[in-house]
Chains A and B, each alone.
Chain A
Amino acid sequence: MGFEGIGASVKRKEDGRFLAGRGNYVDDMRQTGQLHAVIKRSDRPHAKILSIDTAAAAAAPGVVAVYTGADMAAEGIGGLPCGWQIHNKDGSPMAEPPHPVLAVGKVRHVGDSVAVVIAETRQQAKDAAELLVIDYEDLPAIASVRDAVAPGAARVHDEVADNQCYDWHIGDKAIVDAAFARAKHVVKLDLLNNRLIPNAMEPRAAIGDCDVAGNYTLYTTSQNPHVIRLLMGAFVLHIPEHQLRVVAPDVGGGFGSKIYHYAEEAIVTWAAGKLRRPVRWTAERSESFITDAHGRDHDSTAEMALDEAGNFLALRVRSLCNMGAYLSTFGPAVPTYLYATLLAGVYKTPAIYAEVRAVFTNTVPVDAYRGAGRPEATYLLERLVDTIAHDTGLDRVELRRRNFIPADAFPYQTPVALQYDSGDYVATLESALKAADWAGFPARRRAAAARGKLRGIGMSTYVEACGIAPSHVVGSLGARAGLYEVAEIRVHPTGSVSVFTGTHSHGQGHETTFAQLIAAQLGVPMSQVDVVHGDTAKIPFGMGTYGSRSLPVGGSAIVKAVDKIIAKGKKIAAHLMEASVDDIEFKDGKFTVIGTDRSKALAEISLAAYVPHNYPIDELEPGLDETAFYDPKNFTFPGGCHICEIEIDADTGVPHVVNFVAVDDVGRVINPMIVEGQVQGGVAQGIGQALIENAVYDSAGQLVTGSFMDYNMPRADNVPNIHVGTETTLCTHNPLGVKGCGEVGAIGSPPAVINAVVDALSDYGVRHIDMPASPQKIWSIIQAGRPALAAE
């Protein structure tokens, strides 16, 4: 056994079963008597349902049941709930139209669930679904946020005027306006944050089951099984907690898209109850494209007021944000509290005012996707900073440095609600500049030009808020849930340990990181530690994994539970060694009477706890099993500097990322290898957003990029070797000093890439290019810029 403690790059415990194809995913599960559900999807963006004739489908071979929205409505089944309520500028609540599990009256996006066919085999269910006769009356479709707010636009929901979900703001408008009035320079930029489709490797799947006593089990691809149990049980199907178990076994990637409560989970659970047989559903990839919540999709204007020297005086932002056809579980929170509160970035801008208007469209619901709001804020700010440099002629590095929140200013209160606890933006900047050899770039640019390539370099300096989140804070901001986390530590009689965590691992490596924590804190070898997650029947009520919260919040709960184990262990040790509790110290897995060689190993203490023959039974309960809940005091604030270097083939417009440096401050690092992997994956997604990925709807509301033939996922040849570095300042308010690393890559990287593209094209008169910077788009800029270049 090598060093397994904090800071060791221990290989991942879970990878053995994944690499051997022995993971246990929802679709791998088989139940006796199982039935197969196929969901009939709307192929219309927006239409009235005039009638649904189910007779032929119901009579088809093998079909057990066909249900429509009317059947669910007749049983009083609720709509899918939204977990976050935003209030408008005037204090009124956001528009929150119903989100039926199966469509009632209307379909509102391509992919909307219209009916479910349940049969003995999947093939039979698919055959029968084709026999459903649905009579639609097409309605005008709203395909984009601009369409939604156009005068006279059709309504996605009849009861929602102007398609407006909310019109929200943050910051002090009067102070900002005054600062703009006295500014020496004002730099303005319009920019789009492109819509993305998550595309986790494992498509969503769900199996519902119900026993003779009416106890339900849902197996589902979820990042947060307890949240699903609460939402579906309490709000949709009205099943009490003790009769509903939700299991999220191995899950193949989520990136946010598996946080939400989806219609299919309710459909299979409800149908299993009616039919008293297990009902299973697995998305086909093409279903994933039109039913998994999409990400991003902002249309924004940003303006910065500056003084003569380039100090930021005030920032004004207006964003028009897409909610899709219905509110997904956390959709409304993303462009508000996960976005606009980050608009200070790493800068000491004294005044900020942001207005966010969220609208409904006839598209798939939009919700959090890796980074969730923070990539949008970072992209807006970091593109704006480079544009300021472009317009004013100030050096982009010096401009950033001049406006950084200094390292000695923490804790730092921003004008947009958040208080950053720690950070050192100069340290990450300097480290990244060095690793990227920023100073040597001009020579590389000249060398590239000699090869006919346009070479550019770009950076982004960013901060994000994760470790979501203090319950009282999010509660005051509209969250309908608390966002603490829970851990139970069970020391078994012979000293091995099981950790029950409310977080969920779907690629993050919790089975390793958390075992490492236990190894470090209890001195138990990792091989003796088991991490249990994903089953509401086993784990206490925890909130799951998203917002880079597993270690800062879930890990903190583990530390608190460990503290309880040690405190109890000391009492047992004191009894066994006939010493005072105050004289017992715990170190390296041993309880020792301070200043003596008398000690008891953890396994001796646990054995005494479970075989309490010689035990302080009058004062202490037997057993060594402790639970702790942890509600964070604040968000955590990872930050850093990303630098991208790119070469463009001037003949074709093809961009190629030739170097990428990410230096992040994620607080204390438990497993450097896992952090590096998380950053690499995030950067790959960030490069994807910046150069490649784009969800495109045509003007009629049809998804043009509905398969991998047209939706462009990053592949190995799109992603360079990524230099990952860390600079550490500790989080000041959680016991480990950790900040979270799951999203930094996707947050910091897109503006670095686009800044590099714009830099590469600087001779062609380009000021901004919207994502994704596709070859065709770059080629068009080069074509348009050539005459100007030739004239010089």
Chain B
Amino acid sequence: MYDFAYHKPANVADAAKLLAADGEAKALAGGQTFIPVLKQRLNKPSAVIDLGGLGLSGITLAGNTLTIQAMAKHGAVAASAEVKKAISALATLAGWIGDTQVRHRGTIGGSLANNDPSACYPAAVLALGATIKTNTRSIKADDFFQGMFTTALEPGELITAVEFPLPVEKSAYEKFRNPASRYAMVGVFVAKGPAGVRVAITGAGQNGVFRHAEMEAALAKNWSPEAIVGIKTPADDLNSDIHGSAAYRAHLIGVMAKRAVVAAG
């Protein structure tokens, strides 16, 4: 990696100030994407603002909201009794991210801010109609994800928490892993809750996570795996690589969605 200045602020305000003051500074949450990128010299930040001193790792269940703070690690979400009680599919999803080492460093806020097109969390956040809380505002999931590695976050804006509306009546996540990287090649999160019936697909789209309107409509009418059999996903906007053509991914969306509906019960 290249040399950089290192700061570890103790509160969100200081972190935001440091980031706002320096356009070349980058925030470090769990670092499970960022550190490898630094090691490969693919990124040359002037400063790394380590968010590890902010706290912000709590998970709370209050009223009709499950709140997961931004620095909660995947392993903590996977193990959380609150998450399992409120939205068990979300705990399952977190438990399937990466490996044990990744799950003990990677954070929900870091994953969402990075918006890797093959990350798992965006599918859950979008399907569950969650709200992203930042140091300055609240952003609806539908407005947050804006394409591959692109979000609605402004420079200096930091995610502080994610709020999931409850009760979630049905939900499940199914993931087809890239055989090499084990990232989601196709991940499908299905949910029926306060945000309605939603189907969010990650890993497959050229523009990152997206909702599958046709499947949502079909499931809204009839929540059953049969309801989505035969729904074809156009391959036009899907990724294609040596592991999976766009057509294969389109097919897998159907398979994974069906399995997710079965799993959701």
Contacts and interface: CB of A to CB of B under 8 A. Distances in A.
B5 interface: no
B243 A651 contact: no
Contacts of B41: 126
B242 A704 contact: yes
A709 B179 contact: no
Interface in B35-61: 40-41
Contact of A286 (B40, B176, B181, B252): B40
B181 A710 contact: yes
A711 B243 CA distance: 10
A20 B255 CA distance: 45
Nearest to B99: A715
B179 A774 contact: yes
Contact of B242 (A708, A710, A779): A710
A705 interface: yes
A651 B244 contact: no
Interface in A777-792: 779-780, 783
A710 B180 contact: yes
Contacts of A776: 243-245, 248
A780 B248 CA distance: 8
A93 B45 CA distance: 55
Given A286-B40, A704-B242, A774-B243, A779 B180 contact: no
- Which of B242, B244, B251 is the most central at the interface, judged by chain A CB atoms within 10 Å of its CB? B242
Interface string A448-469: 0000000000000000000000
Q: Is chain B's binding surface mostly helix, strand, loop or mixed?
A: loop
Contacts of A692: 179
A705 B251 CA distance: 24
A397 B247 CA distance: 38
A779 B243 CA distance: 12
Nearest to B2: A127
B181 A708 contact: yes
B46 to A, nearest CB: 16
Given A710-B180, A712-B179, A696 B242 contact: yes
Contacts of B180: 705, 708-713
A754 to B, nearest CB: 17
A783 B3 CA distance: 52
Interface in B110-162: none
A652 B176 contact: yes
Given A711-B180, A774-B179, A652 B252 contact: yes
Contacts of B2: 127
B100 to A, nearest CB: 13
B258 to A, nearest CB: 8
Given A126-B41, A710-B180, A775-B179, A652 B255 contact: yes
Interface in B225-241: 241
Nearest to A780: B248
Interface string A754-780: 000000000000000000001110011
Contacts, number: 39
Contact of A651 (B3, B40, B241, B255): B255
Interface in A119-133: 123, 126-127
Nearest to A710: B180
Contacts of B176: 652
A286 B248 CA distance: 29
Interface residues of A, number: 23
Contacts of A780: 248
Contacts of A694: 242
B251 A779 contact: yes
A776 B3 CA distance: 42
Q: Is chain A's binding surface mostly helix, strand, loop or mixed?
A: loop
Nearest to A696: B242
A123 B41 CA distance: 11
B4 to A, nearest CB: 12
Interface in B1-19: 2-3
Nearest to B252: A652
Contacts of A708: 180-181
A185 to B, nearest CB: 37
Interface in A503-529: none
A704 B255 CA distance: 28
Nearest to A713: B180
Nearest to A775: B179
Interface in A608-660: 651-652
A696 B241 CA distance: 11
B145 to A, nearest CB: 22
Interface string B162-187: 00000000000000100111000000
Given A286-B40, A652-B176, A692-B179, A710 B243 contact: yes
Contacts of B255: 651-652
Interface in B170-206: 176, 179-181
Nearest to A649: B255
A698 to B, nearest CB: 9
Nearest to A779: B248
A692 B255 CA distance: 22
A426 to B, nearest CB: 38
A652 B252 CA distance: 7
B233 to A, nearest CB: 15
A705 B252 CA distance: 23
B173 to A, nearest CB: 16
Contacts of A709: 180-181
Contacts of B243: 710, 774, 776
A286 B3 CA distance: 21
Nearest to B241: A710
Interface in A231-290: 286
A775 B178 CA distance: 10
A84 B36 CA distance: 41
B52 to A, nearest CB: 24
A711 to B, nearest CB: 6
A783 B248 CA distance: 10
B215 to A, nearest CB: 16
Contacts of A711: 180
Interface string A139-169: 0000000000000000000000000000000
A694 to B, nearest CB: 8
Nearest to B251: A779
Contacts of A126: 41
Contacts of B245: 776
A708 B99 CA distance: 14
Contacts of A652: 176, 252, 255
B114 to A, nearest CB: 15
Contacts of A774: 179, 243
- Which of B40, B180, B252 is the most central at the interface, judged by chain A CB atoms within 10 Å of its CB? B180
Nearest to A718: B179
A609 to B, nearest CB: 55
B102 to A, nearest CB: 13
Nearest to B243: A776
Contacts of A710: 180-181, 241-243
16 contacts: A286-B40, A651-B255, A705-B242, A708-B180, A708-B181, A709-B180, A710-B242, A710-B243, A712-B179, A712-B180, A775-B179, A776-B244, A776-B248, A779-B248, A780-B248, A783-B251
Given A710-B243, A712-B180, 20 more contacts: A123-B3, A127-B2, A652-B255, A692-B179, A694-B242, A696-B242, A705-B242, A708-B180, A708-B181, A709-B180, A709-B181, A710-B180, A710-B181, A712-B179, A713-B180, A776-B243, A776-B244, A776-B245, A779-B248, A780-B248
Interface of B: 2-3, 40-41, 176, 179-181, 241-245, 248, 251-252, 255
Interface of A: 123, 126-127, 286, 651-652, 692, 694, 696, 704-705, 708-713, 774-776, 779-780, 783
Closest 8 CB pairs of A and B: A712-B180, A709-B181, A651-B255, A776-B248, A712-B179, A710-B180, A776-B244, A696-B242
